[in-house]
A and B are shown apart, each in its own frame.
Chain A
Amino acid sequence: MAKHQTPMLDQLETGPWPSFVSDIKRQAEFRKNNQGKVNYQIPVDACDDLLGVLELSYKHGRTHWKHGGIVGVFGYGGGVIGRYCDQPEKFPGVAHFHTMRVSQPAGKFYTSDYLKKLCDLWDMRGSGITNMHGSTGDIIFLGTTTAQLEEVFFELTHTFNQDLGGSGSNLRTPSDCVGQARCEFACYDTQAICHDLTNEYQDELHRPAFPYKFKFKFDGCPNCCVASIARSDMSFIGTWRDDIRVDQKAVAAYVGGELKPNAGAHAGRNWGKFDIQKEVVALCPTGCMRYEGGKLEINNRECTRCMHCINVMPRALRIGNDRGLSILVGAKAPILDGAQMGTLLVPFISAEPPYTEIKETVIEPIWDWWMEEGKNRERLGELIKRQGFGKLLEVTGFKPDPRMVKEPRSNPYIFWKEEEVEGGWERDVNEFRKYHQR
């Protein structure tokens, strides 16, 4: 018998999709039965009360969680998010129900043994409910009491060799794609740089002094498996400067049907014979490919590294050999003010350790500017909009470049100053106002 009646939540179990309500109910049962004889350190009925308080919120049409809190582990200003219920008498199991963000391993590589042990730790010292992974990439532990925070932190750092992640006005837990560990498209070692910058910027990760959150994400190529271009204030995307390597024999094998396009990923339905003209050449966004007389040609100067042709024919087309990464800035995916994609700042930079150029010419000058000029709760992308992309170029010292312009004449970022134009100009404001109202 469930502790609380939850008719409204129960409806969420009736659709064709997996339901978090079913998951939490199962966990509530699991805790009650306690077949593993776990020495629970927080109330056994935390999951029941979680369902109860959510049902009540649906009934009232308002939340019963208070806003934020002062909990944390000693010396850290992030990684723990205090959650307190405003109906503690009715739902004592979730009177305190704090979230812990745990740094995920680079590329999200785990052994199953490690995952099991993480779950055992959380069954004993928390609700057992996890979110693998949060949208920033962390392992999220949902629901524990204040007294357990230091205990969990001790276990994580001593037994699991793992740290808490970022939250609040901090550098958030950097995240990366699997990269060179499994993927032949990776133009640099995403895991190496992710690990290096995480260690280098420990103070920024754990002690909040930024105007708001700041995210790094590392994608090995423009396929953007961790969506860095859309979801990080500073996005690192692998690229190459020379030519796509073409194996004409393999091209012929795709055309002849011996090799399956997209490595057979779309083989579930009969799409007909592979048509290189229609499926590759005509879909190239810059129109820089040609297939004639059994030969595929690419005008590499026009190629924007969109990855389409390489994704379709990975055996025939390979990334170039002169590799590095591009850096884009200012993306965000907020709930309130609209989402914004990253803007290209650095077309190409070396991605070799120890990454000094990236740290000293890109990351640190940008942080200095944003920390001084950013308003409270203003993301980097918003500051760039407010003060102009030209200002960003000024603080970083990068030269304006056509690749920073999305479309001619619609990019509001770049303005000329008088001293930048030969001969300068005279401007009579009164004359201007005759024709243009304020």
Chain B
Amino acid sequence: MEYEEAKQKIVEGLTKKLKTKSKFYFNDLAEILGEKPREAKKVINKLVEQGVLEYWSSGSTSMYGLTGTGKQASAEHED
């Protein structure tokens, strides 16, 4: 999938859900892209590199969110 197309899908997909949640599992993203995990990973890595997505981690699990969204970012003054 082209990067721009993937970006649009992810940004739209996650923005729609923002009201209820701001952190997503890797599999949620792969599903939005409609790709197998290994393929999805390439473009998701790029989205992180470009600052569209950011990682969130509890230490044991990792999640992804649109950069700067969600409670934590503003609460820690790091957005």
Residues of B within 8 A of A211 (CB): 25-27
The answer to whether A72 touches B55, judged by C-beta atoms less than 8 angstroms apart, is yes
The answer to whether A146 touches B61, judged by C-beta atoms less than 8 angstroms apart, is no
A371 at the B interface (CB under 8 A): yes
Q: A372 and B37 in contact (CB under 8 A), knowing A75-B49, A77-B48, A146-B78?
A: yes
Residues of A within 8 A of B60 (CB): 167-168, 212-213
The answer to whether A169 touches B59, judged by C-beta atoms less than 8 angstroms apart, is no
Q: A212: nearest residue on chain B (CB-CB)?
A: B61
Give the interface size class of chain B.
20 to 34
Q: Which of the residues B27, B57, B76 comes within 8 Å of A168, measured between beta carbons? A: B57
The answer to whether A377 touches B61, judged by C-beta atoms less than 8 angstroms apart, is yes
The answer to whether B49 touches A68, judged by C-beta atoms less than 8 angstroms apart, is no
Q: A72: nearest residue on chain B (CB-CB)?
A: B55
Give the distance to chain A from B47, nearest Cβ to Cβ, in Å: 11
CA distance A72 to B49 in the complex (A): 13
Residues of B within 8 A of A70 (CB): 54-57, 65, 72-73, 76, 78
Give the distance to chain A from B66, nearest Cβ to Cβ, in Å: 12
The answer to whether A376 touches B59, judged by C-beta atoms less than 8 angstroms apart, is no
- Chain B contacts with A in 55-79, Cβ cutoff 8 A: 55-62, 65, 72-73, 75-76, 78
A249 at the B interface (CB under 8 A): no
CA distance A70 to B58 in the complex (A): 9
A412 at the B interface (CB under 8 A): no
Give the distance to chain B from A96, nearest Cβ to Cβ, in Å: 8
Q: A372 and B61 in contact (CB under 8 A), knowing A70-B55, A70-B72, A208-B55?
A: no
B34-47 interface mask toward A, CB cutoff 8 Å, 1 = contact, 0 = none? 00111011001100
Give the distance to chain B from A215, nearest Cβ to Cβ, in Å: 12
Main secondary structure of the interface of A (DSSP, over half): loop
Q: A82: nearest residue on chain B (CB-CB)?
A: B57
A32 at the B interface (CB under 8 A): no
Q: Which of the residues B26, B36, B78 comes within 8 Å of A208, measured between beta carbons? A: B26
Give the distance to chain A from B24, nearest Cβ to Cβ, in Å: 10
Interface contact tally, CB-CB below 8 A: 87
Give the distance to chain A from B73, nearest Cβ to Cβ, in Å: 6
Give the distance to chain B from A161, nearest Cβ to Cβ, in Å: 25
A78 at the B interface (CB under 8 A): yes
Residues of A within 8 A of B26 (CB): 169, 208-211
- Chain A contacts with B in 59-95, Cβ cutoff 8 A: 66-72, 75, 77-78, 80-82, 84
The answer to whether A81 touches B59, judged by C-beta atoms less than 8 angstroms apart, is yes
Q: A208: nearest residue on chain B (CB-CB)?
A: B62
Q: Which of the residues A77, A96, A210, A376 comes within 8 Å of B55, measured between beta carbons? A: A77
Residues of A within 8 A of B75 (CB): 84
CA distance A1 to B16 in the complex (A): 54
Give the distance to chain A from B45, nearest Cβ to Cβ, in Å: 5
Q: A68 and B55 in contact (CB under 8 A), knowing A77-B62, A208-B62, A210-B26?
A: no
The answer to whether A69 touches B62, judged by C-beta atoms less than 8 angstroms apart, is no
Interface centre among A69, A84, A210 (most CB of B within 10 A): A69
CA distance A372 to B26 in the complex (A): 11
Interface centre among A75, A209, A213, A368 (most CB of B within 10 A): A209
> Which 5 residue pairs across A and B have the least CB separation, nearest first?
A168-B62, A208-B62, A68-B58, A371-B37, A81-B59
Interface residues of A (CB under 8 A from B): 66-72, 75, 77-78, 80-82, 84, 96, 99, 146, 167-170, 203, 207-213, 368, 371-372, 376-377
Other than the known A69-B56, A70-B65, A78-B62, what 4 A-B pairs have Cβ atoms closer than 8 Å?
A70-B55, A96-B76, A212-B61, A213-B60
Interface residues of B (CB under 8 A from A): 25-27, 36-38, 40-41, 44-45, 48-49, 54-62, 65, 72-73, 75-76, 78
